[in-house]
A and B are shown apart, each in its own frame.
Chain A
Amino acid sequence: MATLARLQARSSTVGNQYYFRNSVVDPFRKKENDAAVKIQSWFRGCQVRAYIRHLNRIVTIIQKWWRSFLGRKQYQLTVQVAYYTMMMNLYNAMAVRIQRRWRGYRVRKYLFNYYYLKEYLKVVSETNDAIRKALEEFAEMKEREEKKANLEREEKKRDYEARKMHYLLSTKQIPGIYNSPFRKEPDPWELQLQKAKPLTHRRPKVKQKDSTSLTDWLACTSTRSFPRSEILPPINRKQCQGPFRDITEVLEQRYRPLEPTLRVAEPIDELKLAREELRREEWLQNVNDNMFLPFSSYHKNEKYIPSMHLSSKYGPVSCKEQFRSENPKKWICDKDFQTVLPSFELFSKYGKLYSKAGQIV
């Protein structure tokens, strides 16, 4: 029982003693726990690190192998590409060689002849030089001609001057102004004056009147017909002083129309013209130009036998002509003499005489 009483007396402190005895270890518990945790964590860390290291090594191997595989694949591709490029470059170079040759050949043969161009340019430059020379010569010639013309003009002017001043020539007695005795030699004008011909006043030019034929004179038969001139007479004509005849009478007298004689008025071959005229008039009356032939055809083929008079070669009988010999080579022209019958003067003064004797009233 004592123990129970002791236990019951200690029982209130059991709890506290239990707690306090348990709690004495608590800080150590924590410290030991912490230490254990630290150790464990360190160890776990080492473990994991070793594991990771191990893994890393394995992974490196795997990656190494994988990468090398990939690399070899890539290398194959690269080699292929390089090879291809090399081949293409070679082909290109060869093609360029071929093309170069071909283009040179083509251009030289078909398109552009270099030597021809050079020739052409040389020819052009030669032509240019020739043209330049020719043009210069032409210009020089023109200059020379102009100078010559100028000189000639000067010469002519001087000559004209000398001719106008001809009276200034020096005579034996009196020396002229260009031949002063105090000079060593006479002035060149003196020689010019000696050479020149004296100038006379210009005579008014006689205008050549157009030769008028007979018919023109006959045409202006009216009393008031004026011969036409180019310049109209001046209007402001002063009335002349003095006893002058009436102007109408004067004009009538001055411009009296021509009254030619019969002999002049008729042409000399009037006989022939009259014959022609007669023949023409007769021809007008003809119905048909053909000769009148007989009806029967019996006589068609008969030749016409002319009479003895007509068939001689000496022409119609005429005493004068028969015995004269003709020499055609001595004839001056082909035509024979014309028969000209002059008109006779019997009727030329008809009605123009002053006296009225013998006229029938």
Chain B
Amino acid sequence: MSQRQVLQVFEQYQKARTQFVQMVAELATRPQNIETLQNAGVMSLLRTLLLDVVPTIQQTAALALGRLANYNDDLAEAVVKCDILPQLVYSLAEQNRFYKKAAAFVLRAVGKHSPQLAQAIVDCGALDTLVICLEDFDPGVKEAAAWALRYIARHNAELSQAVVDAGAVPLLVLCIQEPEIALKRIAASALSDIAKHSPELAQTVVDAGAVAHLAQMILNPDAKLKHQILSALSQVSKHSVDLAEMVVEAEIFPVVLTCLKDKDEYVKKNASTLIREIAKHTPELSQLVVNAGGVAAVIDCIGSCKGNTRLPGIMMLGYVAAHSENLAMAVIISKGVPQLSVCLSEEPEDHIKAAAAWALGQIGRHTPEHARAVAVTNTLPVLLSLYMSTESSEDLQVKTGVQWHNQLIEALNSWAQVILLP
């Protein structure tokens, strides 16, 4: 046999392998095929193809595995059980960027389903290699690695701590400064998911200098990026007063108020969440928010939204009014009470009504003046009807009952004063 013929056999085999892996990758995009693929035992075949000589086949096999694992958590568990992860992690360190992207995609697809699977990924040492990928030149690789880290860190505090211990946070902060929008988005969401679990993790994120960069990027016109940044800042500021103060020192007011006027619903929701998390800690922070005109902006935002997007805004008004009577008076003069009573009467969901009732109660409970301001807008009958109606939930009934009671007392107080004065 001549050399040519021998080589031809090898070429045929290689062609067959490429075709197989490309077809599998394509079939894996459609959910109806995945069951059949799983029953046909595609996992073990893909596992051997991951070790192939030709880089294209490796990459396509990794892509196919990623798509399969992405579909549901049984397949992801199968990926973990077949010991594919150590091989992936090992070759992640040495291969080219397409392979790195595909392998990071697999890790992300496995890690997103449950904490146990994410723990399995951490146990096979993937975090160090992912962090090394974050230092790569190609932005696609960085994005894939950051996404994988985000899904791992999302589940609970131990996994976030593991991600932080691998040294991911400074690199994520560097990623935020890159020019590519997609990379910025993913890095911001990763920081948000790390910081949300505990104050120490949030402190780590702040120590890496993330807050200044995040605050600068609020002005970026991309809606999804703004949404992630605002979520990150709100996760950082929710834990303690110091963190909230640090976020405020990054000069987010009054820029954040422009986000309240954005077209995208999620941006508005996250912006009002951020303001709520800042305002809830101390009266000084609430005062800062009020002085910056935040109350008016939030009230307008409540007026322009519907449904669950209103909820953080309503709660923010309640928190601000709860701190002191001056702030409650500030909320009243910003025309907050009519807006809240509109929310109370027209929202279909129970928890939003409960929140609106609570907020009205916080406004009205300080002095008879406040109660009069609340009662003037005819909210008391609405509260009463909510309390009495059989459809409203326990929580709603309790809240409205308490508020109605408080309001009534204060209102009577104020009417009595009005009568006795002359």
Binding site for B on A (CB under 8 A): 117, 120-121, 124-125, 127-132, 135-136, 138-139, 142, 232, 235-236
Residue of A nearest to B55 (CB): A232
Is A121 a contact of B330 with CB atoms below 8 Å? yes
* 13 further interface pairs, Cβ-Cβ under 8 Å (given A124-B295, A131-B257): A117-B326, A124-B293, A125-B333, A127-B291, A127-B296, A128-B334, A131-B294, A132-B296, A132-B297, A132-B300, A135-B261, A138-B258, A139-B261
A352 to B14, CA, bound (A): 43
- With A128-B293, A139-B261 in contact, do A232 and B333 touch (Cβ < 8 Å)? no
- Chain B, residue nearest A120 (CB): B326
Of the candidates B14, B254, B329, B333, the one whose C-beta lies within 8 Å of that of A235 is: B14
B345 at the interface (CB under 8 A from A): no
Would you call B261 and A138 a contact (CB within 8 A)? yes
Taking a contact as CB atoms closer than 8 A, the residue among B55, B254, B258, B330 that contacts A124 in the complex is B330
Which residues of the partner chain B approach A136 to less than 8 Å between Cβ atoms?
261
**Beta-carbon contact of B291 and A142 below 8 Å:** no
CA distance A200 to B293 in the complex (A): 56
A136 to B301, CA, bound (A): 11
* Closest B residue, CB atoms, query A146: B263
- Could you tell me if A128 and B329 are in contact, using CB atoms closer than 8 angstroms? no
Residues on the B chain within 8 Å of A235, using CB:
11, 14-15, 18
Chain B residues close to A by CB (< 8 Å): 11, 14-15, 18, 55-56, 254, 257-258, 260-261, 263, 290-297, 300, 326, 329-330, 333-334
Given contacts A127-B291, A128-B334, A135-B261, contact A121 B296 (CB under 8 A): no
Nearest residue, chain A, Cβ from B14: A235
Closest 4 CB pairs of A and B: A131-B293, A128-B296, A127-B293, A139-B261
Q: Is the CB of B258 within 8 A of A135?
A: yes
Contacts of A127 in B (CB 8 A): 291-293, 296
The one of B11, B296, B333 in contact with A131, judged by C-beta atoms closer than 8 angstroms, is B296
Are A121 and B15 in touch, CB under 8 angstroms? Answer: no
Residue of A nearest to B8 (CB): A239
Residues of the B chain whose Cβ atoms lie less than 8 Å from the Cβ of A131: 254, 257, 292-294, 296-297
Bound complex: CA A125 to CA B296 (Å): 8
The interface centre, meaning the residue of B11, B15, B56, B296 with most chain A CB atoms within 10 A of its CB, is B296
Can you name 20 A-B pairs with beta carbons within 8 Å? A117-B326, A120-B326, A120-B330, A124-B290, A124-B291, A124-B293, A124-B295, A124-B334, A127-B296, A130-B293, A131-B294, A131-B297, A132-B296, A132-B297, A132-B300, A135-B260, A135-B261, A135-B297, A138-B261, A236-B15
